[in-house]
Structure 1
Amino acid sequence: MIGLVLAAGAGRRLRPYTDTLPKALVPVDPAGDGSLTVLDLTLKNFAEVGLTEAAIVVGYRKEAVYARKEQLEAKYGLKLTLIDNDKAEEWNNAYSLWCARDVLEHGVILANGDTVHPVSVEKTLLAARGDGRKIILALDTVKNLADEEMKVVTAEGKGVRKITKLMDPADATGEYIGVTLIEAEAAAELADALKATFERDPDLYYEDGYQELVNRGFTVDVAPIGDVKWVEIDNHDDLAKGRDIACQY
C-alpha cells in the first residue's frame, strides 16, 4: 500500500498564495513562511503509519511540487512519484483521481491536498481493513454540517448509500473528510466508475465516482474518525483554522 495525494487544484479563493503555488503548498505553519504545508502534513502522516512510497497528482503550478520533490523525499523518507494531470485547470477531480489509476492497483491511502488532519485518521482507516472491505471513507459523524460539506448517508450493513454536497445536512450520517483507503482489488472498478463519471460531466467530483460505484452495487464502507480537529482549506478563513490545527500536530 502506498500514499496518494491529489494536489492538482488551483485554489483560487486562496490568492495571492495560489498565484504562484498549488493549493497543497499553501503554508499552514503559524508564521506562514512555507516551512509547513498541507502536503507536508499528509506525507508526514503517511510515513508515520509505515508507508514508504507516495504518489502526488499535480497540475496547476506543478513546477513548485517538482522543485520540492527531492527535499520532501529526504524529509519524510518516502519515494515520491509525480503524476501530471493535463486538465487540472479545466476539469474537476474525478479526472484527477483517474489519472492515478495505475497507482490504485497497489492499494492506496488517498488524501485530498487541502485537508489538514491528524495521523489518527490514517490509523483509523488501516484498523478498519478486512472483512471484504475494498473502499473505506474517513467519516466525521460529530461535526455540524452545512451546505458546502461533502455529505454521506449510510445504511446499516450496506455502507454508503449517498455521497454528495447537494443534500439536506439533516439527512446526512456525516461528512467525508477527503481521506480514503482503497484496496488494490477495487482499482479496476473504481477507475471505470471515475471514467464514466468525468465522461458524463468533467465538472464532477471523484466522490461522484464513488456514487457511481454504489449505484452499480459496489459496497463503499466508512470508518468514523471520532471527535478530531481537521479542516478542508478552501478560503482564507479555513486557512486560519488550518494553521491553528496544524500547530497541534
Structure 2
Amino acid sequence: MIGLVLAAGAGRRLRPYTDNLPKALVPVVEPTDGGEPRTVLDLTLANFAEVGLDEAAIVVGYRKEAVYERRAELESRYGVKLTLVENDKAEEWNNAYSLWCARDVIKQGVILANGDTVHPASVEKTLLAARGQGQRILLALDTVKKLADEEMKVVADPVTGVRRITKLMDPTEATGEYIGVTLIEPEAAAELADALRTTFERDPQLYYEDGYQELVNRGFQVDTTPIGEVSWVEIDNHDDLARGREIACRY
C-alpha cells in the first residue's frame, strides 16, 4: 500500500497565495529554525511516513512545476519515494477526473488524501486499523462535527455502508462528514476507475465522491470508519487557511 495525494487544483479562493503555487503548497506552518515552511503536502507526507508508507504518488496539474521543484527535498525530508502523475485537465475539470488519472497507482492499494486537508496521522492509523473485515473502500468519517451546507456529507450504516455521499443534503440527515481521506484496497481499483470514468463523462465538474456514489448505486459497498474527536480542516478559503495554521501547529 502506498500514499496518494490529489494536488492538481488551482485553489482560486486562496489567491494571491495560489497565484504561483498549487493549493497543496500554500504554507501552513512557518519555520522556527529558518528552514522551509510546511505545507499541506508536507503534513500529509509526514503522516504517510508515520504510518509506515515509504512510497506515494501525487496527482499534479495547476502550477505543477512547483511540485517538481520540491520533489527531491520532500523525498529526503520524509523518506517517501514520490511519483508524480499529471492531470492534463486540472484547470478545466473537477477531481473525479483527477483521481481517475491515478487509476494505475490505485491498483497497488492506496491511502488517498486530498491535497487541501490538514489532519493528524491518527486518521491514517484509524483507517489502517479498520482493515481486514472485507472492506474494499473505507472512508474516514467525522461523526462529531456539526454540519452545514458546504460539507461533503455521508449517510452510512455500520453494516451496509454508504447510502449517500453529497454536499447536496440536509445536514440533519447525515451520519457525518467525509474528511477527504480514503483507504482503497487493490481489489477496488478496476471498479472505481470505471465508476470515475462514468462520472466525469456525465459531467466533468463532478467530484470523485460522486464516483463513490456511482459505485454505491451499482451495488458496490463503500464503508466508513469514524475518526473520533479530531481537529482537522479542509482549506478552501482564507478563513480555512487561518484555521489550518492554528491546527497544524499542534501536529
TM-score past 0.5 threshold: yes
**Deviation of the 1:135 alpha carbon:** 0.3
The answer for the alignment partner of 1:5 in structure 2 is 5
- Structure 1, unmatched stretches of 5+, are none
The answer for the alignment partner of 1:101 in structure 2 is 103
Aligned 8 A contact 1:27 1:34 in 2:
no
The answer for the alignment partner of 1:65 in structure 2 is 67
Aligned 8 A contact 1:26 1:34 in 2:
no
**Deviation of the 1:205 alpha carbon:** 0.1
Aligned 8 A contact 2:31 2:38 in 1:
no
Q: Secondary structure at the match of 1:28?
A: strand
C-alpha separation between the residues in 1 aligned to 2:202 and 2:36?
38
1:138 to 137, 140, 163: 140
The answer for the alignment partner of 1:25 in structure 2 is 25
Over 3 Å counting, the alpha-carbon distance change for 1:31 and 1:49 in structure 2 is closer
- What do residues 117-161 of structure 1 show as CA deviations (whole Å, max 9, x unaligned)? 000000000001011100000000000000000000012411000
TM-score normalised over the length of structure 1: 0.98
Give the 5 Å matches for 1:179-190. Answer: 179-190=181-192
The answer for the alignment partner of 2:193 in structure 1 is 191
1:237 aligns with 2:239: yes
The answer for the alignment partner of 2:77 in structure 1 is 75
Aligned 8 A contact 2:4 2:112 in 1:
yes
Aligned 8 A contact 2:111 2:181 in 1:
yes
1:208 to 206, 210, 217: 210
C-alpha separation between the residues in 2 aligned to 1:19 and 1:147?
28
- What do residues 198-245 of structure 1 show as CA deviations (whole Å, max 9, x unaligned)? 000000000000000000000000010000100000000000000000
For residue 153 of structure 1, what is the amino acid of its counterpart? Answer: V
C-alpha separation between the residues in 1 aligned to 2:192 and 2:96?
10
Aligned 8 A contact 2:158 2:224 in 1:
no
C-alpha separation between the residues in 1 aligned to 2:236 and 2:27?
13
**Deviation of the 1:51 alpha carbon:** 0.4
- What do residues 166-216 of structure 1 show as CA deviations (whole Å, max 9, x unaligned)? 000000000000000000000000000000000000000000000000000
Q: Secondary structure at the match of 2:190?
A: helix
The answer for the alignment partner of 1:148 in structure 2 is 150
The answer for the alignment partner of 1:122 in structure 2 is 124
1:168 to 162, 167, 170: 170
TM-score normalised over the length of structure 2: 0.98
Q: Secondary structure at the match of 1:181?
A: strand
Aligned 8 A contact 1:136 1:182 in 2:
yes
Give the 5 Å matches for 1:49-64. Answer: 49-64=51-66
Give the 5 Å matches for 1:211-230. Answer: 211-230=213-232
Aligned 8 A contact 1:38 1:113 in 2:
yes
**Deviation of the 1:30 alpha carbon:** 4.3
Q: Secondary structure at the match of 1:74?
A: helix
Identity of aligned residues (%): 80
Aligned 8 A contact 1:30 1:244 in 2:
no
- Report the count of equivalent residues: 249
